[in-house]
C-alpha cells in the first residue's frame, strides 16, 4: 500500500522525444505497457487507471544550428499539460505514475506534484544530472535541463511551466542524484554551488547501494514526500540496452532493485516517473521489462 493508504495508481503516458532530439524514446510508454505494467500493479493489489497518452505535436521545422532550447514551444505546452494532469490525479487521491518519453517531462511532473506537496524531495536516478541551462548546454536538448529547472535555474519559459512562478523551486537539500557518471562542466559548477548531493558510481562502488540509499533517504526525510525520477540509463547498458544515451559502468540490475525496495519501505514516495526507454535501440523489449520489474519493487513487490 502506498503512503496515506492509497491503493489507486494513475498511469500517464508522455510519448515525447523532442527533449532528446532523437527518435524512438517517444515509443517508451507503449513499450512499458506491452511489458505488462498494468498486470504487474494489479497483481500487487493496486487499482490501476491507465489514462492513455498526452497528445504531442511534432513541429515541422528542425531546430536551427546552435539552437540552445530545441523545440521549446512544444515542450512547454506538453509539460504544462502534464503538470495539470499530475495535480489532477493527486487531487483524486491517486498516485501518478508517469511513463516517458524523454527526461524533459520531469519539468511538468515535478511542477504538478508541488501543487500538493509544498516541500517535495526528489530522488534522481540517472547516469546524467540534467542540470544544464541554455547557457551551459552542449547540445540544446532540454532533457538535459529538467533538474536545473526544478531547482529554479534556466530559461523563463521553462521556469514558468505549470505556474512555476507561483511556488518555490525544489530546495537543493531536498534533491539526491544516484548513479551519475557523465556530468558536464556547467552542471558540476551549479550542483557544487547549490550543495546538491550527488552519489556517483564511485560512491556506489566504494560504499554499496545500501549505505547510499540509507543516506539519501535520511537526507530526504525532512521533505513532505518524495518524487522518484528514474532514467533507465542509470542502469548499466548490459541490463538496460534500450536507452538513447547509454553510459557504460552503471548501476546493476540488483543494485537498482535494492534501491527501489528501500524507497518503498521508507513510505515517503508520492509520485514517480520512468523515462528514456527507447525500444528502437532495445533487444526484445528488455529495457521495458526491466522498467516494469523495477516499478514492481517501487510498489512493494518482494522476493519473500
Catalytically active residues are 103, 126, 128, 130, 143, 231, 233, 276
Q: What b/e string do you get for 258-286 counting C-beta neighbours within 10 Å, with b at 16 or more?
A: bbbbbbbebebbbbbbbbbbbbebbeebb
**Residue 126 annotated as part of some ligand binding site:** yes
Are 177 and 230 spatial neighbours (Cβ–Cβ below 8 Å)? no
CA-to-CA distance for 20 and 7, rounded, in angstroms? 33
**Residue 128 annotated as part of some ligand binding site:** yes
- Give residue for cell 512499458: 32
Q: Which residues contact 228 (CB under 8 A, 6 or more apart)?
A: 123, 125, 263, 269, 271, 272, 273, 298
CA-to-CA distance for 17 and 277, rounded, in angstroms? 10
Residue 98 neighbours by CB distance under 10 Å? 29
115: DSSP letter:
T
**Whose CA is closest to 266, among 196, 190, 215?**
215
**Whose CA is closest to 20, among 155, 184, 143, 146?**
143
Phi, psi angles (nearest 5°) of residue 276 = 70, 20
**Residue 103 annotated as part of some ligand binding site:** yes
**Residue 130 annotated as part of some ligand binding site:** yes
**Residue 233 annotated as part of some ligand binding site:** yes
Phi, psi angles (nearest 5°) of residue 19 = -70, -25
Three-state DSSP at 297 gives helix
CA-to-CA distance for 44 and 9, rounded, in angstroms? 11
Known binding positions: 103, 126, 128, 130, 231, 233
Residues of each annotated binding site for Mn(2+) = 103, 126, 128, 130, 231, 233
Amino acid at each position: 500500500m502506498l503512503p496515506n493508504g492509497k491503493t489507486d495508481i494513475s498511469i500517464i503516458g508522455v510519448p515525447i522525444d523532442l527533449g532528446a532530439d532523437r527518435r524512438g524514446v517517444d515509443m517508451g510508454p507503449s513499450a512499458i505497457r506491452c511489458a505488462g505494467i498494468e498486470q504487474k500493479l494489479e497483481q500487487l493489489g493496486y487499482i490501476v487507471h491507465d489514462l492513455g497518452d498526452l497528445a504531442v505535436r511534432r513541429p515541422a521545422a528542425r531546430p536551427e544550428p546552435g539552437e540552445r532550447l530545441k523545440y521549446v514551444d512544444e515542450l512547454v505546452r506538453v509539460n504544462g499539460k502534464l503538470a495539470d494532469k499530475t495535480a489532477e490525479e493527486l487531487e483524486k487521491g491517486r498516485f501518478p505514475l508517469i511513463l516517458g518519453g524523454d527526461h524533459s517531462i520531469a519539468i511538468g511532473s515535478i511542477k504538478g506534484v508541488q501543487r500538493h506537496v509544498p516541500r517535495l524531495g526528489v530522488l534522481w536516478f540517472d547516469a546524467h544530472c540534467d542540470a544544464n541551462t541554455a547557457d551551459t548546454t552542449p547540445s540544446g536538448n532540454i532533457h538535459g535541463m529538467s533538474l536545473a529547472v526544478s531547482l529554479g535555474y534556466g530559461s523563463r519559459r521553462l521556469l514558468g511551466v505549470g505556474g512555476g512562478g507561483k511556488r518555490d523551486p525544489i530546495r537543493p537539500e531536498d534533491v539526491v542524484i544516484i548513479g551519475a557518471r557523465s556530468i558536464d562542466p556547467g552542471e558540476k559548477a551549479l550542483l557544487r554551488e547549490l550543495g546538491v548531493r550527488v552519489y556517483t558510481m564511485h560512491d556506489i562502488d566504494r560504499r554499496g547501494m545500501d549505505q547510499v540509499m540509507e543516506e539519501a533517504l535520511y537526507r530526504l526525510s525532512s521533505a513532505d514526500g518524495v518524487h522518484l525520477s528514474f532514467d533507465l540509463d542509470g542502469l548499466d547498458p548490459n541490463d538496460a540496452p534500450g536507452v538513447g544515451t547509454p553510459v557504460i559502468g552503471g548501476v546493476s540490475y540488483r543494485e537498482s532493485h535494492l534501491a527501489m525496495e528501500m524507497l518503498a519501505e521508507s513510505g515517503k514516495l508520492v509520485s514517480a516517473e520512468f523515462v528514456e526507454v527507447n525500444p528502437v535501440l532495445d533487444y526484445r523489449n528488455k529495457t521495458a521489462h526491466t522498467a516494469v520489474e523495477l516499478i514492481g519493487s517501487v510498489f512493494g513487490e518482494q522476493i519473500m
